[in-house]
Amino acid sequence: MNHLEPIKAAVKAAEFDALLITSPSNRRYATGFPSTAGMALVTGEDAWFFVDSRYIEAAGKAITGAHVEMTDNQNTYVVKLNALFAELGVKTLGVEDAAMSHAEYLDYEKQLKVKLLPGQKLLSGLRQSKTEDEIERLIKAQRIAETALAEVLPLIKPGVTEKEIAAELTYRMLRHGAENNSFDPIVVTGVKSSMPHGVPGDVKVEAGSFVTMDFGCIWDGYCSDMTRTVAVGHVTDEMKKVYETVLAAQLAGIAVAKAGVPGKEIDGAARDYIARSGYGEYFGHGYGHSLGLDIHENPNANPTNPDPMPLNAVCSAEPGIYLPGRFGVRIEDVMILREDHAEVITKAPKELIVL
């Protein structure tokens, strides 16, 4: 699966003659080929992929719709590109300005015989709306994560550590076909559950505490992301109230979410509910972020995004309440923003589970 044709069409309408694609996730988006090296060049009419001898055979078999050429010590990326620029008459080149260091940009500016222009927005704009093929991969990654959760829940009991739970989630996702974690799992319990991005440690689960697990995996390049908060042994009335508030807030956001709704309005539906319930100061992060080849992509459903969310954007729905030094609750699903509704692809139960 590659996206060279839509990229060509976008380059044809852009202010530059060609686009240089250098970051791993955008290379994979463009060509469908995963690698730790390589560059893609796309014009309005054609495409090339340059890579060294480590990947040339695999790239030649995997990539369609682009000329695949090998680089070496004499025929470096710069040599190949400059020769092609001269042949094609390329004068201006879009580059991934947000994905490279200042030093890399200066190096390209010095060595490439073209004028460099910002090109990141072209790619990020295309990636905001997912194709059905991409959505299939996202769903597969989600199902693997859910299977792992179902297997791990019976293992959560007093005396088990955060690290052990995180290790079990990772092992079981890999066992069921994941390529890797989509990010380092967050598993926190007790007072640490008030830290949205707490790091798993040697803290042991105790009866009467929450355990928050935020995790996901990669399948065929695409990421899953989910959070479930469960209780062990028993809960207090306040713990139950906070959990139910977070769940109701999440559902309020999902209810208004669809293509064309500004990101801040989706966030606002959940945030207003939490505020009306008396916990407004304890919800600090945004309602959701997009995901795909990267675990965090644009656009976001947060208070700073006034733009309409695009059709088929895939976005998380993850409000939370965090009471410092006491406990926290977060519930996260992933949804596809369709024309008239949000299609939630996360199927794991989210009513309060007391283990």
pLDDT, tens only, 131-140: 999 999 999 9
Tens digits of per-residue pLDDT, 256-304?
A: 999 999 999 999 999 999 999 999 999 999 999 999 999 999 999 999 9
CATH number at residue 56: 3.40.350.10
CA dist., res. 35 & res. 311, Å (int): 29
* Same domain for 101 and 199: no
Q: What is the mean pLDDT of residues 124-133?
A: 97
Q: 70: closest CA among 82, 58, 87, 86? A: 58
Average pLDDT score over residue span 156-178:
98
163 in the same domain as 85: no
pLDDT tens digits, 202-217 = 999 999 999 999 999 9
Note the pLDDT of residue 46.
98
Same domain, 107 and 161: no
Return d(Cα 312, Cα 292) in angstroms, integer. 12
User: Mean pLDDT, to the nearest integer, of 178-189?
Assistant: 98
Same domain, 108 and 173: no
Place of tokens 């060279």: 4
28 and 117 co-located in one domain: yes
Domain boundary at 80, 97, 128, which?
A: 128
Instruction: Identify the pLDDT of residue 261.
Output: 98
**Residue 220, by phi and psi: left (phi above 0), alpha (psi -120 to 50) or beta?**
left
Does residue 75 share a domain with residue 60? yes
Cα gap 24→27, rounded to integer Å: 5
Domain annotation covers residue 95: yes
Residue 349 lies in a domain: no
Q: Do residue 249 and residue 138 come from a single domain?
A: yes
Tell whether 95 and 213 lie within a shared domain. Answer: no
Q: Per the structure, how many domains does the chain have?
A: 2
Whole-number pLDDT of residue 230: 98
* pLDDT averaged over every residue in the chain: 97
Q: Are residues 208 and 307 in the same domain?
A: yes
pLDDT confidence of 115, banded at 50, 70, 90? very high
Give phi and psi for 231, each to the nearest 5: -110, 155
Residues 252 and 108 placed together within one structural domain of the fold? no
DSSP letters, 88-132, are HT--EEEE-TTSS-HHHHHHHHHHSSSEEEE-HHHHHHHHHSPPH
> Band of the pLDDT at 143, cuts 50, 70, 90?
very high
| pLDDT tens figures, 38-90 | 999 999 999 999 999 999 999 999 999 999 999 999 999 999 999 999 999 99
In percent, how much of the chain has pLDDT > 70? 100
Residue 105: pLDDT band (50, 70, 90) is very high
The pLDDT value recorded for residue 13 is 97
Task: Quote the domain boundaries for residue 100.
Answer: 4-128
Distance from C-alpha of 181 to C-alpha of 332, rounded to nearest angstrom: 17
Whether 10 and 85 share a structural domain: yes
